[in-house]
Amino acid sequence: MTDVAGKRVLITGGASGIGCMLAEQLAARGAAIVVWDIDSDGLDAITSKLRDQGHEAHSYQCDLSDRRAIAATAAAMRDADLHVDVLINNAGIVSGDFLLDLTDEHIERTFAVNTMALFWTTREFLPGMINNGAGHIVTIASAAGFAGTAKMVDYSASKFAAVGFDDALRVELKSMGTPVTTTVVCPFYIDTGMFHGVKTRFSWLLPILDADYAVTRIADAIQRNRHRLIMPRMVMSVFLMRLFPVAVQDAMMKFLGVTTSMEDFVGREPH
């Protein structure tokens, strides 16, 4: 069990959505919080809120698509004597367009934030965790990390990589004999605004998740040291579908409405 009370938790993409709400939940459970984000106003808002509530909170503006910025921010934290017990790689972006309508820069940025940043942040903070003999690395991936759909080619591929990152890292850490543990989180759509406009065909089966509910499940999964959180449960049917021929799998995804779920995607309003 990773009891977050008295631990320092670093959350990337912590200025809005899931990251911001996790910061509040984990602070309420006794964690000291550090948030990284590109959005400085959002960072100021969440750190002031947490401090007003009496919690320890720090923030660093950092563009997670930039490896050098990640290294510099991690160095600034070390200079400030801020070690990390729990790293939550949460920052993510989505383009929501057809592959041929994306710019090269869109595709590269999606991979830089959703995938490559996992490597750079983890390589910064894992050595300290191994030295401490404790630590927890959380990857906020997605259900799109094991099921692709239209208008998600770049996003889905970046999240498949995120799921693979966690899977291999978990095994590697065990083989090294370190108690540092991992959790991967794979949710269907959540109503944070990031996927504004998406729709689900059978909301009783595949609901668009309420953000408060999703964040509580994530916080609980971290505290209980769960290796994998997939929500809602129906998402797990993807593993069964994979046992069928691809044509059957595609027909099932179409029937469930997943194939067309991004048709009316709008995404988050710019700040």
Residues with a catalytic annotation lie at 155
Q: Residue written as tokens 């940025």?
A: 109
Closest Cα to residue 145, out of 164, 128, 125? 164
Residues ≥6 apart with Cβ < 8 Å to 248 = 241
Residue 13 or 96 having the CB closest to ligand NAP: 13
Residue 3 or 41 having the CB closest to ligand NAP: 41
Give the shortest CB-131-to-ligand NAP separation in angstroms.
27
Q: How many residues lie near ligand NAP (CB under 6 A)?
A: 30
Among the listed ranges 70-78, 184-192, 231-239, 255-263, the one in contact with ligand NAP (CB under 6 A) is 184-192
DSSP class of residue 267 equals -
Chosen residue from 25, 59, 65, 156 binding ligand NAP by CB under 6 A = 65
Among the listed ranges 57-65, 71-79, 199-207, 250-258, the one in contact with ligand NAP (CB under 6 A) is 57-65
Give the shortest CB-171-to-ligand NAP separation in angstroms.
22
As given in the structure block, the two tokens for residue 271 are 């700040």
Contacts of ligand NAP in 103-162 (CB under 6 A):
113, 140, 142
Residue 46 or 126 having the CB closest to ligand NAP: 46
Among the listed ranges 47-55, 75-83, 165-173, 188-196, the one in contact with ligand NAP (CB under 6 A) is 188-196
Q: How many CB atoms lie within 10 A of CB 212?
A: 12
**Cβ–Cβ under 8 Å, residues 114 and 99:** no
Q: How far is 62 from 202, CA to CA, in rounded Å?
A: 39
- DSSP output for 91-128: ------S-GGGS-HHHHHHHHIIIIIHHHHHHHHHHHH
Interacting residue ranges for ligand NAP, rule: CB under 6 A: 13, 15-19, 37-39, 42, 62-65, 90-93, 113, 140, 142, 187, 189-190, 192-195, 268, 271
